[in-house]
């Protein structure tokens, strides 16, 4: 009986190491009260999962447009680099939710803006360079995936807890830097 390519011990070991590294990253967040961590962590994990699945789908669609197809579910679920966003982004969202909910909010907001802009640009590029309807929607999916990834990364990397704001301290000309949330939401439970 032959073994499928995704059950080799080396690949399985690399997945175990990847999961252990992600769990270690989760444990490195700042300590806050448990009540303060639960809701942002859930938002981060859920939004990261949605973004990760979208980015993974965008990769698969781009590869399919280039002629590399998935022929079975076993092939799609085999450990491969294309699945890394679907695993890493929920973990990253969870870590951000545990660590800094303002950074998480910026990442979600910029990711949403990137999604919309990327979908429009991708659809337009698909319409320009493809004669089929599949080119349009494939362009929109790939563009939205790239937009979510770029927007989320921009939101995470551009956040500065001591950043700029326009709150006056002494007179109208002197300003003190303060973070201004791009998006803020609270849901009482």
Residues near 39 by Cβ (< 8 Å), separated by ≥ 6? Answer: 97, 187, 189
Other C-beta atoms closer than 10 Å to the C-beta of 156 total: 18
> According to the model, what pLDDT value does residue 166 have?
44
- Sign for the CA dihedral angle at 61, 49, 186, 40 comes to negative
Q: Say how far apart CA 166 and CA 176 lie, in whole Å.
A: 7
> According to the model, what pLDDT value does residue 40 have?
84
> According to the model, what pLDDT value does residue 4 have?
47
> According to the model, what pLDDT value does residue 75 have?
80
Q: Dihedral (C-alpha) 8, 4, 62, 148: value to the nearest 10 degrees?
A: -50
> According to the model, what pLDDT value does residue 156 have?
87
> According to the model, what pLDDT value does residue 152 have?
92
> According to the model, what pLDDT value does residue 26 have?
57
Burial (0-12, 13-18, 19+ Cβ within 10 Å), 124 = middle
pLDDT per residue rounded down to tens, the chain (189 residues) = 444 444 455 566 666 666 666 666 655 555 555 566 678 888 889 999 999 999 999 999 999 888 888 888 888 778 888 888 999 999 988 888 888 888 888 999 999 999 999 999 999 999 998 888 888 999 999 999 999 999 999 988 887 776 654 444 444 555 555 555 555 556 666
> According to the model, what pLDDT value does residue 157 have?
87
Paired tokens of 52: 């990760």
Burial 24-44 (b: 16+ CB within 10 A, else e): eebeebeeeeeeebeebbebb
- Residue 91 in contact with residue 26, Cβ under 8 Å? yes
Domain assignments of the chain as residue spans, ordered by start:
6-176
């Amino acid at each position: 009986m032959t073994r499928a390519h995704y059950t080799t011990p080396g690949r399985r070991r690399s997945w175990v190491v990847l999961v252990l590294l992600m769990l270690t990253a989760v444990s490195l967040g700042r300590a806050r009260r448990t009540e303060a961590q639960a809701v942002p962590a859930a938002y981060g994990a859920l939004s990261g999962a949605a973004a990760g699945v979208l980015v993974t789908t965008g990769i698969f669609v781009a590869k399919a447009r280039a002629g590399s197809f998935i022929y079975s579910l076993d092939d799609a679920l085999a450990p491969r680099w294309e699945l890394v966003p679907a695993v890493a982004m929920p973990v990253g969202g969870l870590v951000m939710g545990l660590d800094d909910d303002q950074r998480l909010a910026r990442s979600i907001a910029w990711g949403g803006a990137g999604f919309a802009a990327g979908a429009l640009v991708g659809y337009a590029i698909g319409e320009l360079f493809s004669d089929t309807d599949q080119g349009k929607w494939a362009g929109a999916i790939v563009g939205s995936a790239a937009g979510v990834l770029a927007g989320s990364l921009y939101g995470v990397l551009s956040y500065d807890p001591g950043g700029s704001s326009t709150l006056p301290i002494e007179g109208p000309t002197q300003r003190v830097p303060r973070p201004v949330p791009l998006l803020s939401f609270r849901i009482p439970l």
